[in-house]
Amino acid sequence: MSSAQKQGELWGQAASNWATLHETNHIPLFEAMLNAANVSKGTRFFDAGCGGGGASVLAAQRGAQISGLDAAEGLIEIARARVPLGEFRVGDIQGLPFENDAFDAVIAANSVQFADDTVAALRELRRVCTSTGRVVVALFGPPEKMAYRHIGGAVRAALPEPPDGKGPFELSAPGKLEGLMEQAGLQVIESSEVNCPFCYPDFEACYLATTSPGPMRRFINVLGEEKLKAVLWEAVQPFRSDDSRIEIGPNMFKYVVAVS
C-alpha cells in the first residue's frame, strides 16, 4: 500500500470532524497562501492535499476556478459538497492527474510532508503550474513557535515506542523546505509565517478535532480511545479558560512562495 493510500485511509476515518472542527483553524494560513499565490477572479487554482476544501471555499469566493486533490475520499466528498462547481479528485500528490501548466496558482497546505518522496511531490506541483504562476507550500513552523507541539508531544510520550515515519517537524528546520523546493526546480521568492491559534468551545470539540488528523488515528489504535482522551485532557489544561474554552496558540505556520 502506498503512502497516499495509507494516509487516505487514516484521514478518511474522521473526515467530518477534521472539516468542521479543525480545518477552520487554518483559515489565516489559507488566506495568506491565497494572497501569496495572487488568487483572484478567473485564476485556475489547484489545492494539492485539499482536505475538506477549506482553502477552496475561500478561493471560490474570490472567483477562482477550483480544482483539488486529496488521498482521503471522505474529505473529497466534503470538498465537493462545499464547492459544487469545483473539480475534486482522490489521488496521490506524487502523480497528479493533470496536464502540464494546467494552473495559475498551486498551493499545498500541510500535505507534502506526508509524501513518500517530498521532492517528487514538489516536482509535480511545479509541473502543473504555469511559468507565470506561483506555487505556495506550507507546513508547521519550528517547534518552538508551535504551542500545539505540547499536545502532540504528550501523546507521543504516552506511546509504548516512538511512531514510525517522519515527525511533524521533519521539514520545519530553517531552509529545509526551501532547499527541497529548489531541488524540485522551483525558484523560491519568499518565505513567511502566519499564526493559527487552535480554538475550541470545550474539551469534547477539542478532542474530536485533535483526533481527526491521520497521525492521531494511528495513535488511537495504539493507546485506545480512553487512554488517549485522558492524555489529551491533561495536555490541554494550560490552554483551557475558566469558561471551558480551549485556545492552543500561538501556532506559527511557515509558507514558502515559489515560481517555476
Handedness of CA 32, 10, 114, 219 (dihedral sign): positive
CATH number listed for the domain at residues 3-146+166-198+250-259: 3.40.50.150
Domain locations in the chain as residue ranges: 3-146+166-198+250-259
Segment 233-256 mean pLDDT: 99
pLDDT tens per residue across span 42-59: 999 999 999 999 999 999
pLDDT digits (tens, 9 = 90+) for 157-210: 999 998 887 789 999 999 999 999 999 999 999 999 999 999 999 999 999 999
Kindly state the percentage of the chain with pLDDT values over 90: 96
What amino acid is encoded at 129 in this protein?
C
Q: Furthest-apart CA pair in the chain: how many Å?
A: 53
Asked whether the whole model's pTM tops 0.75, one would answer yes
